[in-house]
Amino acid sequence: MSTLRVATLNLWGTNGPWPQRLDLIRRELARLRPDVVGLQEVMREDGYCQAREIADGLGYEIVYGPACDRDGRIQGNAVLSRLPVREQREFALPTGGEEPRALLYALLQSEHGDLPVFVTHLTWQQSHGSTRLRQVRHTVARVAELSPAMTRLPPVVMGDFNADPDSDEIRYLRGLAVVEGQSVYFADAWTYGGDGSAGATYDRANDYARQAREPSRRIDYIFTGGDELLRGEPLHAELAFTEPEVLDGVRVWPSDHYGLVADIVLAAREE
DSSP annotation of 202: B
CA distance 8 to 29: 11
* Beta-carbon contacts of residue 151 (< 8 Å; ≥ 6 apart): none
Tens digits of residue pLDDT in 254-266: 999 999 999 999 9
Give residue 1's pLDDT: 57
CA distance 192 to 262: 10
Domains contained in the chain, CATH given: 3-265 (3.60.10.10)
Would the pLDDT of 268 be above 90? Answer: no
CA distance 241 to 32: 10
Give residue 130's pLDDT: 95
Give residue 97's pLDDT: 75
pTM beyond 0.95, yes or no? yes
DSSP annotation of 40: E
Name the 3-class secondary structure at 44: strand
For the four alpha carbons of 122, 144, 151 and 222, in that order, the dihedral sign comes to: positive
Would the pLDDT of 30 be above 60? Answer: yes
Give residue 144's pLDDT: 96
User: How far is the CA of 106 from the CAs of 77, 115, 219, 240, in angstroms?
Assistant: 11, 8, 22, 23
CA distance 19 to 231: 39
For the four alpha carbons of 3, 241, 125 and 204, in that order, the dihedral sign comes to: positive
Tens digits of residue pLDDT in 124-172: 989 899 999 999 999 999 999 999 887 899 999 999 999 999 999 999 9
Tens digits of residue pLDDT in 200-255: 999 999 999 999 999 999 999 999 998 888 899 999 999 999 999 999 899 999 99
